Amino acid sequence: MTPETVMLIGISGGSGSGKTTFARMLNDYLNSTRGEGFSAILAQDHYYIDQSARFKEDGDPSVNFDHPSAIEFPLLSRHLEQLRLKKPVEVPIYDFVTHTRKNETTPFPPRPVVIVDGMLLLSQAIVRPWLDHSIYVDAPESVRYERRLRRDVTERGRTPDGVERQFRAQVKPMHDEFIEPSRRYASLLVDGTRDFAPVIAGLRL
């Protein structure tokens, strides 16, 4: 069923700040209070450009996955426009272990609320205009690093050494250059070390 309107809510912030956790909690909250299918999450991570040809080893510094040019933002922007027009989109599928974009896509129908999860969203002038609300989740670098290390090793098949090198060489510099300055575009700042439940229950959407 086509919704009457589509509201786009961007969740941004540094790697390990708690964006995906916040997005999932908000999504669960909306689906349980407004009805199943009321909202869904669209993640920036699906829009990585295929890097398999360039990538040599874990932590290879020649590929910067944290720079905005690693993400196909023009495609994400077009998809946000389509969703706003209540049209379905086909979301790319990206494999983090092989750094490959698959040939298949995932159909994503429009919903009354689409939650967009991505650390560079607010740094992009072609993305910002589509977001009705933009939330920046903020956490100190030490907290973000520890969380990232745990996740990349357990869920993304990375070595602790590769994660450490990538954080120092790319994650931190790109955070400082693109992500941190983009917080000024947020309509709401959220502390990523606190419980998100009261924040979500208090949102006026």
Binding site for Mg ion (CB under 5 A): 20
Which x/- pattern, by CB under 6 A, does the window 64-103 give for ligand ATP?
A: ----------------------------------------
The CB-of-127 to ligand ATP minimum distance in angstroms stands at 16
Q: Helix/strand/coil (H, E, C) string of the chain?
A: CCCCCCEEEEEEECCCCCHHHHHHHHHHHHHHHHCCCCEEEEEHHHHECCCCCCCCCCCCCCCCCCCHHHECHHHHHHHHHHHHCCCCEEEEEEECCCCEEEEEEEEECCCCEEEEECCCHHHCCCCHHHCCEEEEEECCHHHHHHHHHHHHHHHCCCCHHHHHHHHHHHHHHHHHHHHHHHHHHCCEEEECCCCCHHHHHCCCC
Which residue minimizes CB distance to Mg ion?
20
59 binds, among ligand ATP, Mg ion, none (CB under 5 to 8 A by kind): none
Min dist CB 20 to Mg ion, Å, is: 3
134 forms part of the interface with ligand ATP (CB under 6 A): no
Q: Segment 21-60, which members bind ligand ATP (CB under 6 A)? A: 21
**Which residues within the stretch 149-168 sit at the binding site for ligand ATP (CB under 6 A)?**
151
Q: Which of 10, 92, 110, 192 binds ligand ATP (CB under 6 A)?
A: 192
Among 99, 101, 148, 175, binds ligand ATP (CB under 6 A): 148
Q: Shortest Cβ distance from residue 125 to ligand ATP (Å)?
A: 21
